[in-house]
Chains A and B, each alone.
Chain A
């Protein structure tokens, strides 16, 4: 059973907030015992997803939860915005498609860096992305 040990909520309203979210995720991943590769993976995913929020919706939030399921520790990140939503989710997840200043790898790349990935997006309502990374056994 997954237990939430702590929860941190950060606003994404300015470009600097992307850096703040990234730093917080990096610190918590390290504290939870993720190795350098897993830490770089979840931190880079956090950077991509926080940047997506700022680039497409201007404002939103990042919730960072420290998890344990007994043998493993993990981090779960929830990025939420009330922005324009993603009309063609399949295309956005395939990568190489960008409507903002990036490589178009934000969503597809993040997905490959984490253990669990969920996205819900409604045009005109917003987007929620949830990613989780676990320590290895």
Chain B
């Protein structure tokens, strides 16, 4: 996937990104950098990452998502990951990866409710 091709939407003071493609190594860094640049440009209070479309989250993808949230936090923007599928949640915990420190919500509405209204 080419840089800049993951659409980033503005919802109130937050950014919403829907990940539908497989976040393999080649695009993971571009994904992170695009999001951080968008946070700077928009001054967004929060970032929602919707992963409903991701059927397989291996430890690499889990780390990309968790690292993205940490990077955004360093800039002062809170991240909520929404839409983790049941089989993905079960697989991650069975592997020993609980995404601790990362805020999650069932869906976009619930996720938006967790973010600051600034």
Contacts and interface: CB of A to CB of B under 8 A. Distances in A.
Interface residues of B, number: 22
A54 B55 CA distance: 22
Contacts of A108: 95-96
A48 interface: yes
Interface in B1-43: 22, 24-26
A10 to B, nearest CB: 16
B91 A41 contact: yes
B117 interface: no
A103 B62 contact: yes
Contacts of A19: 22, 24
Contacts, number: 73
B60 to A, nearest CB: 6
Nearest to A38: B87
A37 B59 CA distance: 16
Q: How large is the interface on A (under 10, 10 to 19, 20 to 34, 35 or more residues)?
A: 20 to 34
Interface string A14-27: 01101100100010
A14 to B, nearest CB: 10
Interface in B85-112: 85-88, 90-91, 94-97
Contacts of A36: 86-87
Contacts of A78: none
Interface of A: 15-16, 18-19, 22, 26, 36-37, 39-41, 43-44, 47-48, 51, 95, 101-103, 105-106, 108-110, 112-113
Given A37-B87, A44-B95, A108-B95, 10 more contacts: A18-B24, A19-B24, A36-B86, A36-B87, A40-B85, A41-B90, A51-B60, A101-B60, A103-B63, A105-B97
